[in-house]
Amino acid sequence: MGAEGELPEPGSLESLVARLQRLFPSAPLRVVGDGRRPVSRIGLCTGSGAGFIEKVIESGCDAFVSGDFKYHEARRAEEAGLALVDLGHFASERLIVEPLAEALRAAVASSGVGGEILTAGDEHEPFRSVVGVC
């Protein structure tokens, strides 16, 4: 479950990271790869997409944006020349909540079955980043 495609404006990994930082200002981004490397084709998986690294490598993507990458997956990506951007599980999953809720609302409305689709608006990132001792 994910997507891959061409960026509308190819650039460097550094420029992709800068765009993601603007879109997700509170996400503690972690990056694997040289910031100067060119990026035009990316893979995206909300939540934890680490299990899809081999498929993303096979697909020819330059970068993979997801959450919850671990050390060995980062090393595998380095070895294969795949850049990673780890948004964290919460931030990468949160971006799909409203579009999915809207799709479900439309499906419920067109089915004639009564129901209400709610989202957890007060949900938050459980982790916090610290420098030094907590």
Query: What confidence score (pLDDT) does residue 78 get?
Result: 96
Q: How far is CA 128 from CA 27, 74, 125, in A?
A: 9, 21, 8
In the chain the domains, ranked by start, together with CATH numbers, are 3-93 (3.40.1390.30), 95-125 (no CATH)
pTM over 0.85: no
Residue range 17-55, pLDDT digits in tens: 999 999 988 888 999 999 999 999 999 998 899 999 999
Residue range 66-117, pLDDT digits in tens: 999 999 999 999 999 999 999 988 888 887 888 899 999 999 999 988 888 9
Query: What confidence score (pLDDT) does residue 13 get?
Result: 98
Map residue 95 onto helix, strand or coil.
Answer: coil
